[in-house]
């Protein structure tokens, strides 16, 4: 479960980034995209949440975030690479006891507490998931029971009006209309047996207004919005702890309603657009109590603030229609560019020592100094510690590594290692951790000179990193 939670946590983090980028793009292109494309842009987020790991790309937006994952701060002693063969620069094996050092009970207690809290996170996440799932199942069965006892089939006149609307929208599915007072707004419910729910107050409206309401719900049906809503609910249950995801899903549902309005307007004459807006307001006026929609419903009327936006988009329908090709091109470009930036993963980070490149946050004070080891063990140790100079510094820099395999070819030596680094402070007999990393699979390429000395040329950090504690994600 811990491994699953780490995948969920990572996915939720990157999903939040994708959502905020999409909101930014939507705000910048507010009137450059029609409601349909504002809605379709969210495909980028949904795909990212379903398939979190994409191919590596130098154009991935996450390349900008990768250096942040290296600067890890923690308040307790980091988890060491617990292997007896790990090399330490002082010539001792990891885990050896050194006489004369004071007892580190405070640090150990802090580490134990840190580990306990970290281990509790997956359980907390799973508990929240199960509670939300149980509530949704209960709410669904409860609503279905109430609907079965309180909902009545609509009159033949309303059924006939629905058939006319279906013909107008070119929809052939089997859809029923029910009158009920459980849900206070016209809604669409049911994945396999779709039903349109109307209220008694709705029936008091003009026949034309009722037809607009039916067309709106049929627009949801045609675009499979009920299925999309269930997908949102599933992802919301998984990422229940992430407020950014909830905020983005709220905007998705708002864009869903505006896109449904556009679908209706495409079936109406220009002279009817104003009447459709009036019908929307008329439905809003019939709601005299605050409505809490069931999670599985798609309602015609949502928040009053979004109603204002929907009215504005209705007025701009002719504007978007006159620029249809430009809007489509802009929308396609947005999806392609956002997909390239956000569906891909950060490319593997490579740091060159040959040209003094300090792109991997190596300290400028030591970047120009050659790093030379007399043995492969010492060379690996020095190379790892050189990487550590880009972290938040303390009093002492330590490293640990284990060489898994060494390849030699001519004057080039490649070392496959698992390494970790840490900065520490020491005051009043207590060690404090400043910054550091967990065990990171690392490939280091060395140049070996005729004297048998090793100098690093490339340090390659693998993308796959698995750590025990969430601090190191």
pLDDT digits 0-9 by tens, 183-216: 888 899 988 889 999 989 888 889 999 999 999 9
Q: Find the mean pLDDT for residues 104-118.
A: 52
3-state DSSP assignment of residue 143: helix
Contact 460, 349 (CB under 8 A): yes
Predicted local confidence at residue 38, as pLDDT: 93
Please determine, for residue 356, whether its predicted confidence score (pLDDT) is greater than 80. no
Please determine, for residue 341, whether its predicted confidence score (pLDDT) is greater than 50. yes
Report the range of poorest mean pLDDT among 100-109, 141-150, 354-363.
Answer: 354-363
Higher pLDDT, 186 or 287: 186
Please determine, for residue 391, whether its predicted confidence score (pLDDT) is greater than 70. yes
Higher pLDDT, 369 or 244: 244
Please determine, for residue 307, whether its predicted confidence score (pLDDT) is greater than 80. no
Predicted local confidence at residue 109, as pLDDT: 52
What is the percentage of the chain residues whose pLDDT exceeds 90?
31
What is the overall mean pLDDT for the chain?
78
State how far the Cα of 346 lies from the Cα of 361, in Å rounded to an integer: 17
The two tokens of residue 205 are 């409206």
Higher pLDDT, 285 or 363: 285
The two tokens of residue 155 are 């009159």
Please determine, for residue 241, whether its predicted confidence score (pLDDT) is greater than 70. yes
Q: Find the mean pLDDT for residues 55-84.
A: 56
Give buried/exposed letters for 356-389 (b at 16+ CB in 10 A, else e).
eebebebeeeebeeebbbeebbebbbbbbbbbbb
Predicted local confidence at residue 270, as pLDDT: 86
Q: Find the mean pLDDT for residues 202-231.
A: 92
Predicted local confidence at residue 298, as pLDDT: 60
The two tokens of residue 321 are 């229609």
Predicted local confidence at residue 367, as pLDDT: 41
Please determine, for residue 47, whether its predicted confidence score (pLDDT) is greater than 80. yes
Predicted local confidence at residue 245, as pLDDT: 95
Nearest CA among 157, 165, 174 for reference residue 267: 165
Beta-ladder partners of 408: 413
pLDDT digits 0-9 by tens, 127-185: 999 999 999 999 888 888 988 888 999 999 999 999 999 999 999 888 999 999 888 88
DSSP state of 457: E
CB atoms within 10 A of CB 320: 20
3-state DSSP assignment of residue 311: helix
> Which residues 6+ apart lie within 8 Å of 215 measured at CB?
165, 168, 169, 264, 267
Q: How confident is the model at residue 108 (pLDDT cuts 50, 70, 90)?
A: very low
In order of 109, 133, 183, 380, the CA distances from 295 in angstroms are 45, 12, 12, 56
Please tell me the pTM assigned to this model: 0.66
Predicted local confidence at residue 453, as pLDDT: 84
Predicted local confidence at residue 163, as pLDDT: 92
Q: Find the mean pLDDT for residues 42-51.
A: 95
Predicted local confidence at residue 426, as pLDDT: 76
The two tokens of residue 8 are 């969920």
385: left (phi over 0), alpha (psi -120 to 50) or beta: alpha
Residue with tokens 């680094």: 421
Q: Find the mean pLDDT for residues 56-69.
A: 72
CA end-to-end distance (rounded Å), the chain: 16
Beta-ladder partners of 406: 415
Predicted local confidence at residue 362, as pLDDT: 34
Nearest CA among 345, 412, 368, 358 for reference residue 390: 358
Angle in degrees, 0-180, between the axes of helices 43-50 and 324-342, rounded to the nearest 10: 20
Please determine, for residue 258, whether its predicted confidence score (pLDDT) is greater than 70. yes
Q: How confident is the model at residue 66 (pLDDT cuts 50, 70, 90)?
A: low
Please determine, for residue 293, whether its predicted confidence score (pLDDT) is greater than 80. no
The two tokens of residue 236 are 């919301």
State how far the Cα of 425 lies from the Cα of 430, in Å rounded to an integer: 8
Please determine, for residue 114, whether its predicted confidence score (pLDDT) is greater than 70. no
Contact 256, 298 (CB under 8 A): yes
Name the residue ranges covered by the structural domains of the chain: 67-119+348-472
3-state DSSP assignment of residue 2: helix
The two tokens of residue 418 are 């698992």
The two tokens of residue 219 are 């627009």
Q: Find the mean pLDDT for residues 78-97.
A: 40
Q: How confident is the model at residue 347 (pLDDT cuts 50, 70, 90)?
A: confident
pLDDT digits 0-9 by tens, 394-413: 788 888 899 988 888 878 88
């Amino acid at each position: 479960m811990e491994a699953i939670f780490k995948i969920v946590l990572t996915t939720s983090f990157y999903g939040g980034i994708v959502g905020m980028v999409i909101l930014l793009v939507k705000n910048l292109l507010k009137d450059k995209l029609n409601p349909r494309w504002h809605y379709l842009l969210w495909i980028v987020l949904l795909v990212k949440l379903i398939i979190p790991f994409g191919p590596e790309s130098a154009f991935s937006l996450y390349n900008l975030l990768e250096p942040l994952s290296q600067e890890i701060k923690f308040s307790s002693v980091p988890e060491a690479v617990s292997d007896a063969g790990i090399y330490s620069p002082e010539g001792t094996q990891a885990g050896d006891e050194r006489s004369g050092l004071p007892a580190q009970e405070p640090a150990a207690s802090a580490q134990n507490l840190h580990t306990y809290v970290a281990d509790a996170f997956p359980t907390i996440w799973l508990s929240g998931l199960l509670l939300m799932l149980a509530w949704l199942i209960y709410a669904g069965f409860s609503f279905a029971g109430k609907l079965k006892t309180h909902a009545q089939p609509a009159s033949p006149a309303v059924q006939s009006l629905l058939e006319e609307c279906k013909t107008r929208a070119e929809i052939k599915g089997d859809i029923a209309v029910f009158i009920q007072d459980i849900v206070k707004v016209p809604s669409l419910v049911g994945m396999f047996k779709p039903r349109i729910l109307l209220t008694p107050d709705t029936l008091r409206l003009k026949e034309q207004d009722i037809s607009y309401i039916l067309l709106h719900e049929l627009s949801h049906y045609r675009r499979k919005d009920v299925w999309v809503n269930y997908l949102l609910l599933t992802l919301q249950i998984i990422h229940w702890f992430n407020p950014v995801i909830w905020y983005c899903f709220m905007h998705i549902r708002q864009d869903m309603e505006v896109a449904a309005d556009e679908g209706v307007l495409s079936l109406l004459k220009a002279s009817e657009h104003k009447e459709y807006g009036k019908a929307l307001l008329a439905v809003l006026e019939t709601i005299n109590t605050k409505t809490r929609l069931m999670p599985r419903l798609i309602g015609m009327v949502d928040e009053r603030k979004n109603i204002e936006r929907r009215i504005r988009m209705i007025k701009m329908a002719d504007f978007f229609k006159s620029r249809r090709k430009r809007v489509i091109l802009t929308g396609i470009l947005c999806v392609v560019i956002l997909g390239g930036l956000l569906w891909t993963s950060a490319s593997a980070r490579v740091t060159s020592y040959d040209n003094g490149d300090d792109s991997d946050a190596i300290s400028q004070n030591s970047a120009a100094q050659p790093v030379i080891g007399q043995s492969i063990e010492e060379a690996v140790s020095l190379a790892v510690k050189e990487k550590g100079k880009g972290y938040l510094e303390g009093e002492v820099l330590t490293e640990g590594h284990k060489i898994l395999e060494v390849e030699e070819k001519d004057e080039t030596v490649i070392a496959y290692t698992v390494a970790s680094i840490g900065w520490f402070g020491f005051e009043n007999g207590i060690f404090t951790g400043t910054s550091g990393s967990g065990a990171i699979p690392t490939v280091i390429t060395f140049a070996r000179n005729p004297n048998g000395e090793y100098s690093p040329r490339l340090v390659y950090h693998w993308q796959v990193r698995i750590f025990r504690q969430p601090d190191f994600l």
